[in-house]
Structure 1
């Protein structure tokens, strides 16, 4: 039995067998289209294939989009389109996803699988510097959900562009915020150091209610606070 002690680590270490059980029982096992996308990503880009979100994280993205009834979503970091596909599947009727990336090569694979999944009409891919893309969007709060999973030194900049554009109650999700545990190293390498700086930046932001989950490589969830509501 796990101790009822809030200061004691209570997260199970997932063996491959337990992880498989989790995916199966939680109905989070990738369907044939997602499974094939994972396979093609590993074949086409083996050195970067780890950048695909975990299956349980993808399932959570779809779940949260549906829970919010989201119609307007922005994603920073498309890669080969797994998370985009998961986000788009959850959209309310008439909803749309803008996803930002710099690689025409990687996103070509994404486009193929969006078409196979029947979500192409819900997704607009914008190639180029993501900060420029975000700054060109309407400045007023209008986004229901945003997802950041891109270059780690850019996280703070993306956050600062997205938080003001979230509607009250909107959700901002940020991936890799534990960065393989390296965020607590005494002298972290540049990428985990950038993530640690972002984590501290987000923690101090009183515009949002924030939680960090030990899901996959760490997932930060931030809810834009309505006027007059204060962080928990």
Structure 2
């Protein structure tokens, strides 16, 4: 029996997370979403950030019971997504990899009047959970969901500047493909946010047998050298890169 795209992602995610977690433990790291913060600093950060409301809390608790819970963004990252979205005020936003909908809900809450979010995912099972909580939060009218391989869905979009904000949190091996498809579809000064760019710290190790780590290492290298964007990498959660599409490429590259 052939496996569904969701099953393949589930298996790859579980393998990747476990492999990286073992590498982190072997290297003395903490092996959690906050692998780059001490316990006290992490607790302090949470205490002094706006807490999630009841809908986000319930969604987080429900997702935490799933075998793929590792794929959910933490609360502080969700708050950052809402703040960035509200600051950018995108008319059109896109998310590659929606899972159970936590990050999409956070982005949707930051959209301006008339703003819309296009979500791409492969799983009806996971996004059914998302839809229920989007409805409950009153943001479902701002979200369009397309099911299917994200690269195919992106390739089917008109290749013209359309989006002001993109969030990528899907199959790590395909990050470069998603990015290459997104850049021509971003407006000048549009922002692409990419999750899990530190792979629990495994990206700084010279050798890894984990395909996700190797792919993210190469993606990070190519992104930093891309003259079309201005890039900053933040150590929030498992690493978050923010890339702004420049109105014109950097000179001298």
Q: Identify whether the pair has TM-score above 0.5, normalized to the shorter chain.
A: yes
Partner of 1:5: none
After TM superposition, the structure 1 = structure 2 runs for residues 39-50 of structure 1, keeping only pairs within 5 Å, are 39-43=61-65, 45=66, 47-50=67-70
Residues 209 and 231, structure 1, Cα contact 8 Å, conserved in 2:
no
Partner of 2:227: 206
Cα distance in 1 for residues equivalent to 2:252 and 2:128: 41
Residues 177 and 218, structure 1, Cα contact 8 Å, conserved in 2:
yes
* RMSD, matched Cα: 1.8
How many residues in Structure 1 have an aligned counterpart in Structure 2? Answer: 218
Q: Which runs of 5+ in 1 are unaligned?
A: 1-11
After TM superposition, the structure 1 = structure 2 runs for residues 171-190 of structure 1, keeping only pairs within 5 Å, are 171-188=191-208, 189-190=210-211
Cα distance in 2 for residues equivalent to 1:228 and 1:61: 26
TM-score by length of 1: 0.89
Q: 1:187 to 1:13 in 2, by over 3 A?
A: closer
Partner of 2:54: 32
Residues 58 and 83, structure 1, Cα contact 8 Å, conserved in 2:
yes
Q: Which runs of 5+ in 2 are unaligned?
A: 1-34
1:168 equivalent among 188, 207, 215: 188
After TM superposition, the structure 1 = structure 2 runs for residues 4-15 of structure 1, keeping only pairs within 5 Å, are 14-15=37-38
**CA displacement at 1:26 relative to structure 2:** 2.4
Residues 62 and 86, structure 1, Cα contact 8 Å, conserved in 2:
yes
- Does 2:90 align with 1:70? yes
Partner of 1:93: 113
Q: Which of 1 and 2 has higher RCO (CA within 8 Å, sep 6+)?
A: 2
Structure 1 residue matching 2:128: 3-state secondary structure:
helix
**CA displacement at 1:231 relative to structure 2:** 9.1
Please list every run of at least 4 consecutive aligned residues from structure 1 whose deviation after the TM superposition is greater than 4 angstroms.
Answer: 228-232
TM-score by length of 2: 0.82
